Amino acid sequence: MTKMDEKLEAIMAEVMRRNTGEEEFIQAVREVLESLGRVVAKRPDYTDDALIERICEPERQIIFRVPWVDDRGHVCINRGFRVQFNSALGPYKGGLRFHPSVNLGIVKFLGFEQTFKNALTGLPIGGGKGGSDFNPRGRSDGEIMRFCQSFMTELSRHLGEYTDVPAGDIGVGGREIGYMFGQYKRLMNRYEAAVLTGKGLVYGGSRARKEATGYGAAYFVEAMLATRGTSFDGKSCVVSGSGNVAIYTMEKIRANGGRTIACSDSNGYVVDERGIDLDLVKELKEVRRERISVYAEEKGAGVRYISGGSIWDVPCDVAMPSATQNELTGKDARRLVENGVLAVGEGANMPSTPEAVRVFQEAGVLFAPGKAANAGGVATSALEMQQNASRDSWTFEQTEQRLASIMRHIHDTCAATAEEFGAPGNYVLGANIAGFVRVAEAMRALGVI
Ligand code: GLU
């Protein structure tokens, strides 16, 4: 553990006391507080009025029962969550995750990260996150729809385009957003398009939203590589995951001249030295909802499938963890460094353990934390809200251009902040400080809230 300022240490101890057992939340708070030492040294007033304590405490936490009926007529029960973390900068904004691992601690960590990520975009969005321990794997369309309808029946009373605007995350894509929007519209008798983002293009979605997280992460890494006078061109890349973030990260890497040689799912990973065939991954994951092992079965010779194991054993120039939290350990990081990795960009939220981050930083590897690198998704959600509010719809090019300039702005802000606080090249510090300062300034302006 890095040495912290005394006041920050006391705040950390209190966060640990009141959030016992919520490991991911505690990990996320610690990472931010460890970055704030340099800020409070310059600006001791930031520790006044319990400002940091308030930022570590969600504004509201909602937990509810989600009853639904499966295809066999059995009644099933899941638990639903929405943590409305911080609304100093705008309505709560952040995705919904449907995965059996979801619990309050995970939703709180995601909501906390989201608050700083959203602040970094420079757009008027607060932070929130939600989801359920529902496991969508193997469920029929009808079951997914009934679950989404029941989930929204309860959640709807807490939402609104000026209150809280969810979107997707793991296990929640276009299909689920459609079912939830349909139910919200029905319950409220209002066509309130901006209450959810990640909508389909036919009913108020934004072009480039689906691609935005992955494209944005690649833009961020491209900007980092440029600081060392290089680019994706000719680089070999490993991208973990094979969901929405991973797919569009790989697509942008390819467009920029790089080659992704491995991707994964929670069962194993595939290595295809010719470059991952994205059309096949899209078909498997977006249409057929298959496992990644099927990629190797269908491609045959030249493709390896490794069940279990670690995708980070595959040597590469650029690694982009885009699956889930804590998927890249200290051991994985050491292996990547031994194999000569140049840059790491987090497409997922907090995929590298604190030890892994330390290993990268000590080895001088360019490292982009998720709250900066994967902010393109939520930024484009804010652009979707903007289009909905003005009853307009932009072209793909126009939207992607906005995304590119937002990512450039986030990169430059993180780099400049790190420099200002005496840690050039430390994007973790830059992102945490820049995000914190924006939230803190807004909170102070609004009184004791
Ligand atoms: N779940 C995404 C994230 O982690 C997107 C959230 C949104 O678009 O509101 O940032």
Rounded CA-CA distance 73/51 in Å is: 50
- Bridge partners (DSSP) of residue 160 are 164
Is the CATH code 3.40.50.10860 the one for domain 60-193? yes
**Residue 199 Cβ < 6 Å to ligand 1:** no
**Residue 93 Cβ < 6 Å to ligand 1:** yes
- Chain segment 395-409, per-residue pLDDT in tens: 999 999 999 999 999
| Tally of CB atoms within 10 A around 154 | 15
**Residue 94 Cβ < 6 Å to ligand 1:** yes
For 119, counting Cβ atoms within 10 Å of its Cβ (0-12 exposed, 13-18 middle, 19+ buried), the class is: buried
Mean pLDDT across 379-397:
98
Rounded CA-CA distance 370/432 in Å is: 11
Specify the 3-state DSSP secondary structure of 68. Answer: strand
- Paired tokens of 293: 């092992």
Contacts of 275 (CB under 8 A, 6+ apart): 254, 259, 260, 261
**Residue 349 Cβ < 6 Å to ligand 1:** yes
With a cut of 70, say whether residue 151 has pLDDT above it.
Answer: yes
Is the CATH code 1.10.285.10 the one for domain 1-57+426-449? yes
Q: Give the DSSP H/E element, type plus range, for residue 98.
A: strand 92-98
- Chain segment 9-28, per-residue pLDDT in tens: 999 999 999 999 999 999 99
Q: Could you tell me the distance, in angstroms and rounded to a whole number, from the CA of residue 375 to the centre of ligand 1?
A: 8
Mean pLDDT across 128-150:
98
**Residue 86 Cβ < 6 Å to ligand 1:** no
Contacts of 119 (CB under 8 A, 6+ apart): 89, 127, 434, 435, 436, 438, 439
The active-site residue, picked from 93, 129, 185, 210, is: 129
- Chain segment 187-197, per-residue pLDDT in tens: 999 999 999 99
**With bands split at pLDDT 50, 70 and 90, how would you rate the model's confidence at 66?**
very high
**Residue 126 Cβ < 6 Å to ligand 1:** no
- Give how far Cα 332 sits from Cα of 326, 329, 341, 351, Å: 11, 5, 11, 12
User: Would the CATH topology of 1-57+426-449 be identical to that of 60-193?
Assistant: no
Q: Could you tell me the distance, in angstroms and rounded to a whole number, from the CA of residue 110 to the centre of ligand 1?
A: 9
**Residue 376 Cβ < 6 Å to ligand 1:** no
CATH topology of domain 213-364: Rossmann fold (3.40.50)
Rounded CA-CA distance 331/313 in Å is: 10
| Tally of CB atoms within 10 A around 419 | 13
Atom of ligand 1 nearest to the CA of 96: 1
pLDDT score, position 41: 95
Q: Could you tell me the distance, in angstroms and rounded to a whole number, from the CA of residue 304 to the centre of ligand 1?
A: 32
Q: Could you tell me the distance, in angstroms and rounded to a whole number, from the CA of residue 297 to the centre of ligand 1?
A: 33
Q: Could you tell me the distance, in angstroms and rounded to a whole number, from the CA of residue 166 to the centre of ligand 1?
A: 8
Say if residues 144 and 94 touch (Cβ distance below 8 Å): no
- Is residue 129 annotated as a catalytic residue, yes or no? yes
Atom of ligand 1 nearest to the CA of 118: 10
Burial 45-79 (b: 16+ CB within 10 A, else e): ebbeeebbeebbbbbeebebebebeeeeeeeeebe
- Paired tokens of 264: 């994964």
Atom of ligand 1 nearest to the CA of 349: 4
Q: Which of 324, 378, 388 to mutate to test the pocket of ligand 1 (most atoms within 8 A of CB)?
A: 378
**Residue 377 Cβ < 6 Å to ligand 1:** yes
pLDDT score, position 53: 98
Atom of ligand 1 nearest to the CA of 93: 9
Q: Which residue has the tokens 């359920």?
A: 132
Atom of ligand 1 nearest to the CA of 165: 9
pLDDT score, position 4: 74
Q: Categorise residue 253: left if φ over 0, alpha if ψ from -120 to 50, beta otherwise.
A: alpha
Instruction: Quote the percentage of the chain above a pLDDT of 70.
Output: 99
Q: Could you tell me the distance, in angstroms and rounded to a whole number, from the CA of residue 167 to the centre of ligand 1?
A: 6
Q: Could you tell me the distance, in angstroms and rounded to a whole number, from the CA of residue 121 to the centre of ligand 1?
A: 12
* Residue spans per domain, the chain: 1-57+426-449, 60-193, 213-364
Written in H, E and C, the secondary structure of 387-414 is HHHCCCCCCHHHHHHHHHHHHHHHHHHH
Q: Which of 106, 113, 114 to mutate to test the pocket of ligand 1 (most atoms within 8 A of CB)?
A: 114
* Predicted TM-score (pTM) above 0.75: yes
For 44, which DSSP code? G
